[in-house]
Copies of this chain bind each other. A is one copy, B any other.
Amino acid sequence: MIIVTRIGVTDEEIDQIRERVEALGLRTHISKGETHTVIGCIGDEELLEHAPLQAIPGVESVHPVMKPFKLAAREFAAQPTRIPLGGVELGAKEVVVIAGPCSVEGEQMILDTARAVSAMGARGLRGGAYKPRSSPYSFDGMGLEGLELLARARETSGLPIVTEVMDTRQVEQVAGHADVLQIGARNMQNFALLTEVGRVQRPVLLKRGMSATIKDLLLAAEYIMKQGNTHVILCERGIRTFETATRNTFDLAAIPVLKKETHLPVVADPSHAGGRTDLVIPLAAAAIAAGADGLLVEVHPRPIEAVSDGEQSLTFEQFDEMMAALRPVAQAVGRGLASGAPG
């Protein structure tokens, strides 16, 4: 931590700042410039976490030197983390595509979708049983019945299941049916939920919140990892900005930034990022070109009849077209699409 003082700071004020920092257990190092004095704080920066140094008279600005996350940081792991998913690994050389409907709507549609996307190269099945919806009047999922249908879809397709958990009280139930627990964008800072999924033995797919910085996302991952569950998959799905041509603004640069900052795998969700069927392929291709380890894509047998997210879901044909388009792109960046026979 570096503390810069105001122009005209008094010696008494500098002493007070120094004493406060030292009382918290760090050493200080004073360096007087022409107009400002700089106080370096040497030692464990965490000890200053709670201290409102900004509130001490004479302080102009405070500059943290250390990153606020540890377990998620690149430096923490010797190797990139690889997370097994069915017969493949997320975070390895090959790009893993996870596909399926926004919501589980019934048995036939989820089984059909699972079989179709599996045949076309998906290595995971997504589908919501519990759905967060902005309006209390919208369909909010089939609940337990949806989870059971997902489990059945796994049996017939061999695809591991990725599904959302929204409530601390559901964690055990969802973990009992799913292979990967998804934390949605609106719950990215639901710290009670992060803590709870940190205690189970299931990988967690953590979606970036609409107003979360990359640092916030890594701190949310840190919450989960601190409980012992280090299998966290980070997902860029667009942030909220002034642009309205797309549902969200896909922050493509977050992918290479995250790959630098952390050892965790990074996936992208081109369906939510753009919110439009016609944007899924270009956004998916761009994500792979920028280094994404995987994709989360919405597919529905008949998007026009989907109870949610129909305007951004691919048909089976479109999904097949997407996979064909992505294969050469993945190869162009030295990777490939994961194709190991599922589970």
Contact = CB atoms under 8 A, between A and B. Distances in A.
A201 interface: no
A209 B121 CA distance: 38
Interface in A308-334: 308-311, 313, 325, 328-329, 331-333
B213 A211 contact: no
A251 B253 contact: no
A63 B40 CA distance: 13
Interface in A19-45: 20, 29, 31, 33-36, 38, 40, 42-44
B333 A285 contact: yes
A75 interface: yes
Contacts of A291: 282
A125 B22 CA distance: 33
A290 B290 CA distance: 11
Nearest to A133: B191
A111 to B, nearest CB: 21
B332 A136 contact: no
A4 B41 CA distance: 13
Contact of A2 (B2, B35, B274): B2
A142 interface: no
Q: Which 9 residue pairs spanning A and B have beta carbons closest together? A: A52-B310, A211-B211, A167-B192, A186-B189, A328-B332, A286-B286, A289-B289, A54-B311, A285-B289
Interface in A189-243: 189-193, 209-211, 213-216, 219, 222-223, 226, 239-243
Nearest to A170: B192
A71 to B, nearest CB: 9
